[in-house]
Structure 1
Amino acid sequence: MDLDGVKVSVADLRGAPPLLPWKEFARWIGMGDDEQIVWGWIRSGYIPRYKIGTHVMVNVALLNRRLLEQEGF
């Protein structure tokens, strides 16, 4: 998946829990210095989210499934 020139692949998500707080997800994929870019992806709908109260979580399980479908697995 290509998000504004940054590639996110199935390998990047290997071993992830099903949900991660969005800032933790940004650090985990190596975007900790550019976490606002990740927030933009979430707001734009490129990355699936799940909201719990006031906390925005990245739905890593759904993102993983989408990546697998794109790569033909």
Structure 2
Amino acid sequence: MLGSVGLPFPINSGRFRSMTSDYVTPMDRTIAALGEAPYSMLEGVRRMVRWYDDGSERIPHPVKKVVGHA
């Protein structure tokens, strides 16, 4: 369907593989430079969900125009 309007499919097999593969990144240097995170991953997810539920729709999300498309 995208090809019919001149747009390439956004995901190829290499990109899909990189998005679905585990990639462990050592965090030692990051933690040394920035310090420990101020909250856990679980608390971060809880805060994000609370933010989302409490009015994230008020943030404007501009619509992008697709070239060659009405």
TM over 0.5: no
TM-score normalised by length of structure 1: 0.25
Bigger RCO (CA 8 Å, 6+ sep) = 1
Normalized per residue, the structure richer in strand is 1
TM norm structure 2: 0.26
- Rg (Cα) greater in structure: 2
